Structure formats: C-alpha cells, structure tokens
Structure 1
Amino acid sequence: MKTSASPRFPSFFTVAFFLLFSSSFSETRNFLPRGSSLSVEDDSDILTSLDQTFTCGFYGMGDNACWFSIWFTNSKERTVVWMANRDRPVNGQGSRISLRPDGAMVLTDVDDSTIWETNTTSTDVSRAELLDTGNLVLKDTRGKILWQSFDFPTDTLLPNQFFTKSTKLISRLGRGMYSSGYFNFFFDNNNVLTLMYDGPDISSIYWPDPDFGVFGSHRTNYNSSRVAVFDEMGNFLSSDEFQFSASDMGFGIIRRLTMDYDGNLRLYSLNNETGLWVTTWEAMLEQCKVHGICGRNAICVYTPKPKCSCPPGYEVTEPGNWHKGCKPKFNQTCSQELTFVQVGQVDFYGFDLNYTQSISRDTCSKFCLEDCRCVAFSYRLSGDGRCYIKSALFNGYKSPNFPGSIYLKVPASVGRYESAILSGTNPICGSNDSTIMMGLPSMYDTISKKVKWVYLYWFVSAIGVIEILIASAGWLLFGRHGVPDSVEEGYCAITSQFRKFRYAELKKATMNFKEVLGRGGSGAVYKGVLADERVVAVKRLEGISYQGEDVFWAEVSTIGQIYHMNLVRMWGFCAEASHRLLVYEYMEHQSLDKHLFSRSSLGWKERFKVALGTAKGLAYLHHECLEWVIHCDVKPENILLHTEFEPKISDFGLAKLSNRGGSNSELSRIRGTKGYMAPEWALNLPITAKVDVYSYGVVILEIVKGIRLSNLIIEDGEAQESELTRFVRVVKPKINCKEESWIEEIVDQRLNGEYSRRQVMKIVEVAICCVEEDRDQRPTMDSVVEALLECEDESKIHSPYAQ
C-alpha cells in the first residue's frame, strides 16, 4: 500500500512484524488514511474488508481501461459490485485514487485530470474505510460517516443497502463491458419499483407487467417513502408492498441483487466451494418479455433458449449486434400494391395507432392498408376479435400462449416469396454470472415473516460499532507501517505466472536458439527448456521497434493476461536492448498444417474438434476480452495442437504489437498471409474482426478438403482461379438447392468415408458464409460457435461416423 506518510517502528519490531504478518498484511488492510493514495500499477494497492468478503481497488488489465471498484474477493470472476467511474475508465499506468488533505476522495488519470471525486471537501474526513458490508465510507475522527458508496450504486444492491427514490440500478452494456447499459431498476413516479428499457430509440417499462397495472401486479402506489431493502436471510421488502425471498433463504450466505445486462433483475448466492454464483430468484421468468432485448423489428423466440430473430421480409441491421434489430429488405410506399405476411403466435408490444374490439380480421387489415403510417397489425382471438394497428415494431416476442398473430405489411411482390419463418436467429447473451437455477420462486411470492425494519437498523448499527473497534485496534497496531518494496516485489513474483525473462536466460534455455520449431512473418520460434524444467516455445520478434521496455511491457502484459483453453498461454517476455522475445507454452503436436497437408492425416473427430475449438478461441478474443483482439493472421500454421489434439491459437495480439502507431498498410504487410486475407485488406478498408472470420472460413474448408485452397488452378498452362473461388462457385448453389451429392466429392479422400455428413455440411455452410466478400454478410464468431455446437455430439450418435 503506497501512502504519503509512513512513520517507522523500531527495527526489532519491524523484523518481528514481517515474520508474522507480511504474508497477510496487504490482504487485511481495510482503510486509507487522509493524504494517502492507491496506485493503478501496484496490484497490492488494495483495501480488503476485515472479514475478507470485499476488495476495493483498481479493476482492469494491463494497459487497458481500469475502474476504481469494489468486488467480491472470493468469487471466481472477481464479481464487481460498485464502480466509481464506470463510464470514464482510466489508464492502466499513472492513474491513482487519493484521499486528499481537503477531505475529498479523487480519482485521477495518467495526465492528472480529475475523472471522479466525492463531494466531501471537509477537513473532518480522516479516512476511507471498506466495511464488511461492501460499503466504502469516508469517516471523520469520531467515526461518523460523511460519504458512502451505498448511496451511489451501479448495477448491484447488497444486503442492508437501502434502495431509495434517489438511487437506481443501471445494467452493464454487455458481456465483458462495464459502461452503463439500457436497463434500469428504480422507483417510478407512481412510487412503484420498476424495470425499464431506456434505449437509443425508445423507453419502455416492462415490469411489473404493463397489461396488469399496479394493483393487478399486487403493488400499491399509496406510499411516498419509496424505500426497499433485503436482509441477511435473503428476504426483500419494498414500500410498494413488493416482496420475495431467496430460494435458499437463511443466514451465512453471501448474496447480491443485480440488474443484469440482459434486462433481468436477479438475486444471486455465492457457492463458497466453486466461487460461482447461483440464481435464487429472478424478476422475469419469461426472458422474451424483456423490452428492447432484440431491437427494432426483431422478435425474441425460444429455441428452447431465448434467441433474436428477424421476421419475414427483414434482415439483421448489424450482424452480431441485436440492439440494432432488423431492417426491411424492401422500400414501402403507400402507392404500391401491398399485402400481409402472417407470423403466428407473435406480438409486438406498444406503438398502437388504434385499438378496436369485436371486429373481423379482414376489417382490421383494411384499417392498416388505409393508414399509411401502419407497418403491421396484431389480431387476437381471445373470445372477441381484437385489432391493434402498429406504427412501429418494438419488443417483439413469440409465445405459444399468445392467442393471435402479427400481420406484417409488405409490398405484394415481396409477400409472394416470403414464408412466415423467422430467420437470422442468434442467441441472446444471458448473464454469465448465473450457473445454476434453483427452484425459483414467483416474483409475487409473499414472505411468511416480513422484514423488521427495527431489526435491520439494529443489525447495521451493531456491525458498524464492531468494525470501528476492530479497525481502530488494527490501526494502532499495524496502520502506520509501510511494506518495504522488496517484500512487495517478492509477493508479486510469487503470485504471478507471467514474468520478465533475461536474454541470457532464454539464450541458455534454447541452447543458443538451436532448434527451430517454425518461422512466420513476425519471427522464428525456438524450442527451449527453462530452469524449472518447463518446455517452452520462444519467439524472436523481428522488424519491430519500440520506444522502450516500459512500452513493450505495457502491451505484452495485456496479451499475457488473456487466458482461454483454446489460446496458447504466454509465460513471459524479454526486452533487453534490441532483443524482443515472447515465451509461450510448448505444444507437443505442433501446428495444424503439419498434419493437414502431409501424409499423416487427422481423423474427422480431431478435425471437428479443431474447427470448434478454434472458433471458441476467436470468439473469446472478439467478444469476451476486456480489450477486444483481432488476430489478423488466422491460418493453419497459427493453430497449434495440444494433448488429444485440442487446438490452441497462437500469435494473437501480435498485430497490435507490430502496428503500434502504424498504418493499415503496414499492418497488412506484417500480418497478412496470401490465401487467407479478407478482401478488405486489398481494398484498404478499415480492419475489423470480420477479417478473422474470413480467414477462419478458409481454414475450416481446408480442414474438410485436406488441401491448400489458396493454390491456383492451372488449365492450359495458365492460372484460372484459386481453389477457394472454384469451391465456393461450385458448392454454394448446390447448398442453396438443398443438394447433398457434393459431400462425397469434396471431403478429404484420406478419411476413407469415416466422417459425419451432418458435421461436414454444417462446417461447409458456415465456411461459405464466413468467406463472403461483403464483410457485413459474414457471421460473428459467437454465432459460428453456436452453429457448430448444434452438431457437436453427432459423432457420438453415429458409430463410427454417419454416412
């Protein structure tokens, strides 16, 4: 912990202190004295509650965006419960949080600009303290709280944290993202707890169910206090009479109530053994009833998981981003001949131009045709015909319980060819925190024993008194002592597997770079054995210049902290003088090309495993990393094979290293490989993750055929076209016509017919989509993984493989 004032104890006590307490000191300090600060660059600069439940410090990775946060110490993913600067992240170097002499707690960026601060410019503030409740507080010398994080929640409410009319829970924007999203939990103007989608196009309340109203949802707006809380047992009570209990109700369980980025409000309990969260209650039992989840014109369907889909005549606006919804494939004017396409058991909530009861469907369609503003009508058969004329299509969902259909108004030329099949389905990302669903109670279950407010006040007060006593004792005994730099460095070295190597150390490990494992555009790779007997692969980077070791460290440390089972693990780096080396784990089966394009061939089971595992690795880089990574050079040579031929992608992140401050042309020269490069490289278009999707498509087609598709076809002594171009030209029409005779013709003959026809067809269909010239037509890697997972178990069903 770095502080500006650090009085010393006598030397004999210093020795005794570190012998007894140095290993746990940084873990148990729960306060920051006035005039002190925490640095973003020191992982040990944290505050930890006395009961070890919560940790406060900088949350982030390497040189990426960082946030001053509070998180659960023992949760597997370090689940964040509060952020000071969620929409204004700071740099991973040079930033700090300080408790200044004027009493204000201030977060500054690397350039000393103020990003966030408390409104406590009182000299009475003596310390910042992290309580066992997860509340970060500023206290005066008498222990009075002058400011607390509990008054400014982000997306999470903790036990005994009061939720009032002046507070709000706002979801994250998405998976792996921490900025404010579109879903809110708050008390509305009617004094009722509410869930609302507040997106760029619309704002819409979806809980409690708008169809039932306040009283129909067992709420009351006859109150003005607007306060809610949940206790240590998992009981929740609100002044609007809304209440529920956790399915695992009882003491001794760590819980949180979170507004998730998928629009659902959930109560979680922590499994102490696994560090994973269990959902013990949720507000929305039907996820598709969440408004705004699939964007304009889109429909939420269950298959059986909730997915987003485009209705007939519409297509995805921005592949991979369902917040943008769907767009019509046609231009519609009032002067053209119009018709309707029926989609059964589908409804869109709201935006009704007109509502009419007890009329026929034909009359309803006539109303829509005569109104140029109408884009569709909903007709319900619930005893009497109900007609809803729609001016816009938001909040669409399909349910077998919906007694009606939506009728989309389209040009007659389009309607004749459009079938009522929902197209373009893509999964809705649910909360990645939830792992198990435990007998969820209804949102309107009542509590047999109501929360007693007096008990809650007493409980919080008692905890506060105990914490003050313990913290005071700890301060008197340990608080004025600073940890020496040598102890901090030793602790960091022990806990970190990623480290800096000396050049002499790597030169010895590789026997002066003797055994070459392979060469690529960024340098050669050598086999080595470290002093601890680990076998490694050492890559010497070539043609790369840097301003200094600190810049190289900042970039490489980011890559070193990226971890996924389908990505090669980086153990460290070397940056001495002009030497730039990276140290990776060693892959015993080497790269995919050595098995795919040689006499020794992989079986189909291993090939499908490589295709799926590579897709998972790329999906992680594109969608789940804190800093999204574009590989830029996906090819068989960069797909290494581990034990049991599990694929691991290598060289990810090197495009970022190689092109620091460079241009797109430089990036193309360094990272591109002929035959795997997407068309946008040659067209000098902005480079996006879709270049990796294209390259992946080429690779998995090569997995099926067993040959290089970048090779040119020679006829009459002249090069005609590439193998890839001819393959797509020949096979794509056959797939569109639902033919299957082509499968035997294109599969690698070395497999001797031992393969799954369904898996081959799925891979080829996916690959042809991936190599589309128009990058907007290519799928995301997330959707590729979903597609391949649908037939992952095919080889287990058929023995040895389906024919």
Structure 2
Amino acid sequence: MRSRTLKLLCKISFFSNRIATKDNNLCIFLFLLIVLSFSRSANSKSLLHLRRGDSISVEGDDFITSPDNTFTCGFYGMGSNAYWFAIWFTHAKDKTVVWTANRDAPVNNQSSRVSMRGDGTMVLTDVDGRIKWQTNTTNTAVVVAELLNTGNLVLKNRQGDILWQSFDVPTDTLLPSQLLTKDKRLISSLRKGSLGSGYFNLYFGGDNVLSLISDSPQISSIYWPNPYSDIYTSGRTNYNGSRFAVLDDMGVLFSSDHYQANASDIGFGIKRRLTIDPDGNLRIYSLINSSGQWMVTWQAISQPCQVHGACGSNGLCVYTPKPKCICTPGYAANDPNDWNAGCEPIFNQSLLNPEVEFLALSQFDYFGSDLYYKPNFTLEACRELCRNDSGCKGFTYRTWGNGHCYAKSDLFNGFASPDFPGTVYIKLPRSLQVSKPSIFDGSSTMCESREAEIRVGSPSMYNIARKTVRWGYIYSFCLALGVIELLFVVLGWWLFFTKHGVPTSVEAGYRMISNQFRRFNYSELKKATNNFREELGRGGSGAIYKGVLADNRVVAVKRLGDVFQGEDEFWAEMRTIGKINHMNLVRMWGFCSERRHRLLVYEYVDNMSLDKHLFNSNFLGWKQRFAVALGTAKGLAYLHHECLEWVIHCDVKPENILLDSEFQPKIADFGLATLSRRDGPGSEISRIRGTKGYMAPEWALNQPITAKVDVYGYGVVILEMVKGIKLSNWVVDDAENDKIPLKILGRTVKEKSQCGNSSWVESIVDSRLEGNYSRIQAATLVQLGLTCVEEDQSKRPNMAAVVQTLMECEDETDTNSENVIA
C-alpha cells in the first residue's frame, strides 16, 4: 500500500513541476491537497479481523466491517470530544448505533485506542492510558476479533469457538437472532442524540414476564404490560422458566411468556432492529434501503403518555396533537431540553399550610404515588384531608358511583386522557397565580366537557360566592363565569334528582348528567325513528335514519348489516368507541345490540356530508375548505395517535366527513373498521374495506394495513377539495388521459414548480372560486395531498405531521400572494 502511494506521489511531483511554470502557486496548492488525501487514505483501512497485538486508534479512521458490509465497528464520535467504541448500521443515513462498549464513559479524540492484548483481552484505553472498558477474557485462547453479518462482535479461539460476544451485553437495541434472557436487559438512551444510559428498561421481571419499567432515581414503575390488568388478561403467562425473547428475521418478536408481535412489513430480506427509545416506547424499526431511513413497523405503547415517567417528576404528558411534556401548574422545568430532569416548584413548599388552594385539572391524573386511598369519600372531605397533610401535594377525585379519593405524595407520571373519569387537584399557595395548561384547543379536545377553571380554597367547591374579590376585574369576570356554569350544574342535578331519584351526592349527580353514552333497546330506537321512516343516507355498512330520542335530542341512527360480531364482542367494542371524544369526530351517544339487531346512535349533524357541499352548486368557499381540511386532519391524528385503542378508519372520503352548523368537519363511521375486522384473536384486517378511488394500493397488493391507508384517503379528499370535483371526473390537459389522474397531476406540478412556473396553482384550484383563495394554502394542500397518495406507504406522512404542516399556514389569507410553495 505504501509503495503504491509513493509511486503516485512521485508522478504527481513530476507533473506539478511540468505545470509549475504556468501557475506555480496553484500547482503547490493542488499538490498539497492530493498529498493530504493520499496520506489519509493510507492510514484508513477496513478490517475483517483484529488479531492479538493489533489495535484501532481513534485518530486513524480504522474500523472493522462485517463480511456483507451491513455493520461497522469502530470509534463513533458525537460532539467535539466524545468517542465510543461502537457498532452501527453502515448504510443507515444516521449511522444508527446498535451497541456501545463504553456507554457511559466516552473517551478522548486523541490517543484513545482499542487493542487486542497478548492475554486475550480486548481493551479500550483513554488518552492517559486508563482502561475504560475491557472483555472478561483474560488468559483465554482468544486469537481474533470479528464482526459477523448479524452485527455481533465476537472473540474466537483458533478452533473458531466464540469465547465472548457483544450479543451478551446489549445496550438499547436487540438485533434479529439476538437473545434477550433473564439476566439481561435493554436500557434506553438518556435522550435523543445521546448514547448514555437512560431510565427505561426492557427485562424479565420477578413474575417471569417481559416488561417495560421506568426506573428513575425518583421512582420505579412497570407500565407494560398494563399494570392495572392481570397477566392473563394481557395474554401472558408467568409459568415461564426459560425467560427469553427474540426478534427473528421475519420481523416477529416472540417471548417465552407467550407474547408475540409482528412487524407490519413482516417477511424476509429487511434489515430490522428492536429498540427501546428515549421516550420509553419499545419499537421495531425497518430500514428503507433507498433512503437509508428507518420506518416504525411496530410499537408496544400506542398511546405515548401511558409511558410512566415520560416527563419526569412534576411533569405532565399531553397531546397537542403530538405528545409533549409540560410542567404541572406551579412548577418550572429544570431543563427544557431534558424532561428526565422533571420540574421543580416555583414556591416554598414548607409555606404551603394552611394558606393553600387547589387548582382543578379535569381529566388529568398521575400514575401511582398514592399517599392513601379513601373510597366512598366526598370531595370536601378529600380536600380537607390533603390540606392538613404536609406530605400531600394534591389529590385525584374519581367519580364513578360514589366518590374515590387518592391523595398524592408525588406528582409523578402525570397525563391527560379523554377516558379518565375524574379530576386532579394541585395543592398550591393561595398567593400564587397560575392557570390550567392551555392544551384544550382545536388541536386536541381530549376533554370536550371542560370544567371551569376553579380555585378550590373555600369549604365547598360550589360555594364560590364566599370568595372575596382580590384580583380586581379579571378575577371577578372568571368568578362570574364559574357561577354561571355552577347554576347549570345545579339545575341539571336538581332535574335529575327530582325525576330519577339520583343519589344526593353532588359528585355522583354531576357524573350522571354528563355521562350520556348508553345502551338503547330496539323498541325505543324504532319509536325514535318513527319505524325508520326518514332515511338520511345509505352506505356499505348500512342505512342511516333520522330520529328524536325521548329527551328530545335529534340523532342519526345507523342500522348495520349482518357482517358484525356477536352481542358480547359488539358491546365490548362499543364501550371502547364510546370513550372516544374529539370535536372533529361525530359523537356516538349509544348503541343497540339486541338479538339480530345492531344499531349505532350518533349525534345529528346539521349540514350533512362534505360531498353535498363540494360537488354541486352549493359549494364551500376557500376559507371553509381549508378549515375542513385542517379539522379532518386533526380528527384522524386523534384516532391514530391519541386514542386509548388505536383506530384505523379505512374509508376516508367526503361522504364520511359531516359538517355541523358552523361547517366544522366531523368524521363519521370511524369505529366500523374495528368492529368488522375481529375474525379471531390477534387477527389482522382481513376484508377489503373502502371506496374505489380512495383506497390505498396496499389493499390490492395484500400488504399489511396500517394507519397510512387513512393518510392515502385523506390525500385524495384534500385534492378533490382543491379541485372541487370528484377524482374520477378529473381531466388533465395531457395527451395521456387514459393514465391515472393522480400521477399526471403529480408530474405536472413537479415539472412546472421546478421551472418556477406558478400557473399550475390556477389550473388546479376550483374555478368556481373565481380567484378568491390563498395561493400558499392551495399549493400546500396540493403538494401535501400528492405526498399523502404516494404508492409507497413509507413515503406518506403521518397525520400528526399533516396537522403541523397545515397549522403553519393556517393564518395565510393573502389571496393575491405570488409566493407559491415549491
């Protein structure tokens, strides 16, 4: 190698002398550059083996590669002066690290070295010669180190026997064929962009079950499988002596406690990894060869805020619509870039008593840390108990049946959930002015029935009139709003008490009037619809009729066909769907499952479906269309990312997007895919659903069905909204009209936008608008729609990303703007 380099340098020197007379300075500059390049190449080498006496220096750019070049082993740098001896995917765009030797002890970027010593050990030394890591192979017959095609770094003897392997000391990743056994665990990184050990673990617990645990300095808490269900309900068994888990080459994760999970792209020939991420979720990733990027093909936790400790001490996990961390009111983040550090109080806790008030956060709670639990307790008694206990930082009051009081010793694992039937009360100094987290906006209505923001400091939460006016007009205004809402609550309670004999507990009464989801009998729905006389519409799953309930609520009643399951399964599914609540989803009031009858009772939506306001003379203006596009995206993002049960709609089209009296969109039929797909335990969606023109290609190609089928349907819908006509009626000014309109549109937009021609916007937008639209918003919708209808589902964005994109241009209203997004 060196002799070849010297010969080349001689030739370069001769050549430089010949041209020096023309431009001596340029020649010398080029010569020096080439010398440096060859010098670096001479020092850099790829090794398949590391034998006794060999070493790798952090400065030499030497590394070990697997025979098929899938994996690389060497020094991995991060920041200005931190290096790890690591293994990474060679062809991943971010060189994804799957193992590190010195995980929590990085070495210097000068003179650090990995050596194969004469005693058979592999040793990592820092700049000062101190040993930072070494293998436990002293005085063995180790002669060589190799990196296998599996990503396993092994030390072998002369006979080829493995005496040590990196697979036995995993970090945060399990590779295919790598065993996770009872004495090993995966530990997450501390944060994104860090290789240091974090607080989330995957391991076999004392009950022999594969579990995820948050193991922070403050508290340890198992969060997967669901700690509030028994092992057998979770489909596991603790009669499990072998205790092992493995991800195979097909993309199947199997554990000896009878747990099994499949990657959505199950099959051979795909590079995968199982990683416990810094957010505490366990995911299977698949490598996209064309881009070098990773695609999530399975995850253990569908609702990220269910991960215990995700936001640290005194933190709250919320959806807006993406999951994010905020501090409990009255607390401030220790490090906004590291939520593991949690939040600390902005007040002196020793001065809390007796001058305290309680801030009510409806449908919030904190996992665990219960100081004590008091069943059949009144709200007033619970509050007084916490007020007089210096160890109590707040309490949760749940309202099912009689009240339940949970006093909290720590505000840890906080979360917001539309399913939680209660309120948490945060203990704060009376002098401290704070308010609720402002997360209940259009982007995330996890608690549509919002409680007024009431500070509870007086003997009764309803005795607001006794509070003195201490903060002027603002406080008086808030107090007036609270009194008005209180009057409605008391009135509702009184009506129910006098007519139905509801228990005298105020909390129980409030719960009874707010819980309107119920099971109807067939006779009352037949009466409500006047024997199903007025038909509102008809679809593949059944006909919809207008009805009026006994309490004068106008409803839409859907009679389902015969494809749905038995009564017990149907009822169980309804309990789940009944908990889903978002302003952009049609609210379900109840259901009927009686003999052969299956009916769903929905709120009645005044302005019917989107297609009736898009494809005829009674069409929507641009502002309304953009609002519908954004609202629909928020509804789908809620279904995909926030629901307690992951829901795929499977039939997103204008006919299933209803418009209320304010022309705000409400997605209908979002639970029917879940109802019709349960062919057996663990089964996939087995029957093709959807409507021609809105169906993603994976339906026809028999590929795994994921939430990306909804993204495809949404893409078609927003393109139709821009154009104002059905996709099947699109005619593009192109000689190849027999081809798919979407492909022609995509090619047209790409060609014209690359040439700086903005006329393509005018040629696509509905001409009936007569130019009254935002060109930036129109361009965004078109390009977003084209991205959503990519044939390769991995190239489609998720709905959370769609919402973010649309919200960034929501305020763009300049109809004369020439700035078109290219």
TM-score, reference length from structure 1: 0.50
Cα distance in 2 for residues equivalent to 1:324 and 1:136: 34
Counterpart check, 1:408 vs 2:426: yes
Where in structure 2 are the equivalents of 1:380-459 lying within 5 Å?
Answer: 380-414=398-432, 417-422=433-438
Q: Indicate the residue corresponding to 2:359 in structure 1.
A: 341
Q: Displacement of 1:801 after TM fit?
A: 7.0
Cα distance in 2 for residues equivalent to 1:23 and 1:143: 32
1:326 aligns with one of 318, 322, 343: 343
Secondary structure in structure 2 of the residue aligned to 1:216: coil
Q: Indicate the residue corresponding to 2:288 in structure 1.
A: 271
Gaps of 5+ in 1: 12-21, 428-436, 450-643, 645-755, 757-787
Distance 1:104 1:317, change over 3 A: closer
Paired AA for residue 55 in structure 1: T
Counterpart check, 1:122 vs 2:158: no
Structure scoring higher RCO (CA < 8 A, sep ≥ 6) equals 1
CA deviation map 1:772-794 (0-9, x unaligned): xxxxxxxxxxxxxxxx9997425
Q: Displacement of 1:189 after TM fit?
A: 1.4
Cα distance in 2 for residues equivalent to 1:59 and 1:24: 20
Q: Indicate the residue corresponding to 1:146 in structure 2.
A: 163
Q: Is the 8 A contact 1:29 1:50 kept in 2?
A: no
Cα distance in 1 for residues equivalent to 2:231 and 2:287: 33
Q: Indicate the residue corresponding to 2:181 in structure 1.
A: 164
Q: Displacement of 1:357 after TM fit?
A: 2.0
Q: Indicate the residue corresponding to 1:173 in structure 2.
A: 190
Distance 1:402 1:35, change over 3 A: same
Cα distance in 1 for residues equivalent to 2:343 and 2:42: 54
Cα distance in 2 for residues equivalent to 1:177 and 1:184: 16
CA deviation map 1:177-233 (0-9, x unaligned): 111111111111111111111222222221112111323322221222211112100
Q: Indicate the residue corresponding to 1:548 in structure 2.
A: none
Q: Indicate the residue corresponding to 1:361 in structure 2.
A: 379
Where in structure 2 are the equivalents of 1:229-628 lying within 5 Å?
Answer: 229-332=246-349, 333=351, 335-414=353-432, 417-422=433-438
Cα distance in 2 for residues equivalent to 1:322 and 1:790: 28
Q: Is the 8 A contact 2:353 2:390 kept in 1?
A: no
Secondary structure in structure 1 of the residue aligned to 2:202: strand
Q: Is the 8 A contact 2:352 2:428 kept in 1?
A: no
Q: Is the 8 A contact 1:243 1:446 kept in 2?
A: no
Q: Indicate the residue corresponding to 2:709 in structure 1.
A: none
Q: Displacement of 1:85 after TM fit?
A: 0.6
Q: Displacement of 1:317 after TM fit?
A: 3.5
Paired AA for residue 175 in structure 1: K
Q: Displacement of 1:267 after TM fit?
A: 0.5
Distance 1:282 1:791, change over 3 A: closer
Paired AA for residue 273 in structure 2: R
Secondary structure in structure 2 of the residue aligned to 1:82: strand
TM-score, reference length from structure 2: 0.49
Paired AA for residue 115 in structure 2: S
Paired AA for residue 276 in structure 1: Q
Q: Displacement of 1:329 after TM fit?
A: 3.2
Paired AA for residue 374 in structure 1: C
Q: Indicate the residue corresponding to 1:194 in structure 2.
A: 211
Cα distance in 2 for residues equivalent to 1:376 and 1:194: 29
Cα distance in 2 for residues equivalent to 1:222 and 1:49: 39
2:54 aligns with one of 33, 36, 49: 36
2:97 aligns with one of 72, 80, 85: 80
Q: Is the 8 A contact 1:361 1:387 kept in 2?
A: yes
Q: Displacement of 1:51 after TM fit?
A: 1.3
Distance 1:393 1:335, change over 3 A: closer
Paired AA for residue 294 in structure 2: W
Q: Is the 8 A contact 1:244 1:447 kept in 2?
A: no
Secondary structure in structure 1 of the residue aligned to 2:387: helix
Q: Displacement of 1:322 after TM fit?
A: 2.4
Paired AA for residue 793 in structure 1: C
Q: Is the 8 A contact 2:320 2:439 kept in 1?
A: no
Distance 1:26 1:213, change over 3 A: farther
Q: Displacement of 1:422 after TM fit?
A: 4.7
Q: Is the 8 A contact 1:315 1:424 kept in 2?
A: no
Paired AA for residue 367 in structure 1: L
Q: Displacement of 1:313 after TM fit?
A: 2.9
Q: Is the 8 A contact 1:375 1:390 kept in 2?
A: yes
Q: Is the 8 A contact 1:347 1:397 kept in 2?
A: yes
Q: Is the 8 A contact 1:311 1:423 kept in 2?
A: no
Gaps of 5+ in 2: 8-39, 444-639, 649-673, 685-755, 757-775, 777-803
The farther-off stretch of 378-387 and 309-318 is: 309-318
Secondary structure in structure 1 of the residue aligned to 2:221: strand
CA deviation map 1:266-314 (0-9, x unaligned): 1000000000000011111111111112122221110000111223333
Secondary structure in structure 1 of the residue aligned to 2:143: strand
Distance 1:197 1:336, change over 3 A: same
CA deviation map 1:134-192 (0-9, x unaligned): 10101111110000000000110001101101111111111221111111111111111
Paired AA for residue 82 in structure 1: W
Paired AA for residue 221 in structure 1: N
Cα distance in 2 for residues equivalent to 1:219 and 1:269: 26
The farther-off stretch of 47-56 and 192-201 is: 192-201
Cα distance in 2 for residues equivalent to 1:308 and 1:371: 28
Q: Indicate the residue corresponding to 1:798 in structure 2.
A: 814
Secondary structure in structure 1 of the residue aligned to 2:75: strand
Q: Displacement of 1:90 after TM fit?
A: 1.1
Cα distance in 2 for residues equivalent to 1:801 and 1:329: 46
Secondary structure in structure 2 of the residue aligned to 1:213: coil
CA deviation map 1:483-527 (0-9, x unaligned): xxxxxxxxxxxxxxxxxxxxxxxxxxxxxxxxxxxxxxxxxxxxx
Secondary structure in structure 1 of the residue aligned to 2:380: helix
> Among the aligned pairs, what percent are the same residue?
53
Q: Is the 8 A contact 1:62 1:92 kept in 2?
A: no
Cα distance in 2 for residues equivalent to 1:94 and 1:283: 42
Distance 1:446 1:72, change over 3 A: farther
Paired AA for residue 147 in structure 2: L
Q: Is the 8 A contact 2:263 2:298 kept in 1?
A: yes
CA deviation map 1:372-423 (0-9, x unaligned): 3211110112334221111111000001111111011223333xx4433358
CA deviation map 1:539-589 (0-9, x unaligned): xxxxxxxxxxxxxxxxxxxxxxxxxxxxxxxxxxxxxxxxxxxxxxxxxxx
Cα distance in 2 for residues equivalent to 1:380 and 1:272: 50
Q: Is the 8 A contact 1:309 1:423 kept in 2?
A: no
Paired AA for residue 195 in structure 2: Y
Cα distance in 2 for residues equivalent to 1:795 and 1:342: 33
Distance 1:152 1:141, change over 3 A: same
Distance 1:317 1:145, change over 3 A: closer
The farther-off stretch of 71-80 and 373-382 is: 373-382
Q: Is the 8 A contact 1:69 1:81 kept in 2?
A: yes
Q: Is the 8 A contact 1:294 1:308 kept in 2?
A: yes
Distance 1:400 1:123, change over 3 A: closer
1:49 aligns with one of 62, 66, 73: 66
Paired AA for residue 290 in structure 1: V
Q: Displacement of 1:26 after TM fit?
A: 7.7
